[in-house]
Amino acid sequence: MRIAVDAFGTDNAPFPEIEGAVLAIKEDLCEEVILVGDEVKIKYELEKFFYPQKRISVVNATQRIEMEDSGATAVRSKRDSSLVKTIELHNQGLADAAVSAGNTGAVMSASLLIYGRIKNVLRPAIAVVFPTETGHQILLDMGANVDCTAENLVQFAKLGSMYFKYFFQEEHPRISLLNIGEESAKGNATTKQAYQLLSQEKELNFIGNIEGKDIIKGITDVVVCDGFVGNIVLKTIEGVGFSIFEILKEQINKDWIAKLGALLSYPVYTHIKNKLDHTEYGGALLVGLNGISVVAHGRSNAKAMKNAIRFAALIAQSGFVTNARNYFERS
């Protein structure tokens, strides 16, 4: 698998991207990484590492899309940006997937403009693989669509179901609709209508509504919601997880007894931290498009970028996009 990486996407670019690419190659997570950006700077930084040089190539790009840029406008005005050229490499068949930790709006706009939507898909969505008590689940939409219709939510459920099926090799993933209660009568007009439509979808293993408090319990495989709610949920969970560890750290530093207890409990804390580590997959997938774009976080470190490359390669190998295209085109 050849993975194209926007080398100027992260807050600290290009250092996390370059080191992440080297780590990915050393661990044989893909066959080749194509770093896109300022060729001189990338090659200068690569000289600091020892790696199989034939497996990392560089494609020059003279522009960079900044985080403060307007997504759609920047994509049109900066055609020679590292972000746009990364996605174009995949679209041209020169890479099997694209990875960027840059401006999320720009990644979405460029992917939609260059790949195009899968036929009959109304809107693409951002899908995140999230850790639970029992394993992993997929949440979508995580911010691509603030306002959604019931039909949009049903399509998200279908995309999420296929994503989980082909990525995790689970034949009948459980689908849930995020709502304010488990009863079918709960929610606003959109979620009520979506519940009824999902209940009629015989191909989906729809198990009903799920409340926010149950998301990380692992009682379902795919959680569906609109992008406004999804983005708030995702950032709230991330924030709570971070705050818990900060509170623990503060209490541990108060006296020697707490420090001793923390030392004895260190394996438990490490397990919890690793289980909730957002860098395990490294990024979110844009679903509903004729291509693979993995959106990594702007503050990604080398480990996160390495895992985003691994994740992109696994998505490409899973055949999700091809199967999603075949499904929706015959709908």
Q: What is the pLDDT along the chain (331 residues), one digit of tens a residue?
A: 999 999 999 999 999 999 999 999 999 999 999 999 999 999 999 999 998 989 999 999 999 998 888 878 888 899 999 999 999 999 999 999 999 999 999 999 999 999 999 999 999 999 999 888 888 899 999 989 999 999 999 999 999 999 999 999 998 999 999 999 988 888 999 999 999 999 999 999 999 999 998 988 889 999 999 999 999 988 887 777 667 767 767 766 767 666 666 565 556 556 555 555 555 667 899 999 999 999 998 889 999 999 999 999 999 999 999 999 999 988 6
> Using an 8 Å Cβ cutoff, are 201 and 224 in contact?
no
Cα–Cα separations (whole angstroms), residue 170 to 108, 154, 205, 274, 316: 28, 19, 12, 24, 17
| Rounded CA separation 276/237 (Å) | 10
Q: Is the CATH number 3.40.140.10 carried by domain 122-286?
A: no
pLDDT of the residue at 204: 95
To the nearest 10°, report the CA torsion of 252, 254, 258, 259: 70
pLDDT of the residue at 282: 73
> Using an 8 Å Cβ cutoff, are 315 and 285 in contact?
yes
* Contacts (Cβ under 8 Å, ≥6 apart) of 273: 245
Cα–Cα separations (whole angstroms), residue 82 to 7, 37, 58, 60, 66: 7, 5, 11, 8, 11
pTM listed for this prediction: 0.89
> Using an 8 Å Cβ cutoff, are 140 and 224 in contact?
yes
| Residue at 39: amino acid letter | E
> Using an 8 Å Cβ cutoff, are 82 and 4 in contact?
no
Task: List, for residues 4-35, the tens digit of each pLDDT value.
Answer: 999 999 999 999 999 999 999 999 999 999 99
Quickly list H helices, the chain: 15-26, 39-46, 71-77, 82-91, 104-115, 150-168, 189-199, 227-252, 256-264, 266-275, 302-318, 320-329
Q: Are strands 293-296 and 97-100 parallel, antiparallel or unpaired?
A: parallel
| Residue at 119: amino acid letter | K
Q: Is the CATH number 3.40.718.10 carried by domain 1-118+288-318?
A: yes
| Rounded CA separation 209/52 (Å) | 50
| Rounded CA separation 278/213 (Å) | 19
| Residue at 181: amino acid letter | G
> Using an 8 Å Cβ cutoff, are 215 and 183 in contact?
no
pLDDT of the residue at 164: 96
Q: Are strands 222-224 and 2-6 parallel, antiparallel or unpaired?
A: unpaired
Residues 72-85: b if buried by 16+ CB within 10 A, e if exposed: eebbeebeebbbbb
CATH 3.40.718.10 in the chain is located at 1-118+288-318, 122-286
Q: How crowded is residue 303: how many other Cβ atoms within 10 Å of its Cβ?
A: 16
Q: How crowded is residue 106: how many other Cβ atoms within 10 Å of its Cβ?
A: 28
CA angle, corner 92, sides to 88 and 97, nearest 5? 70
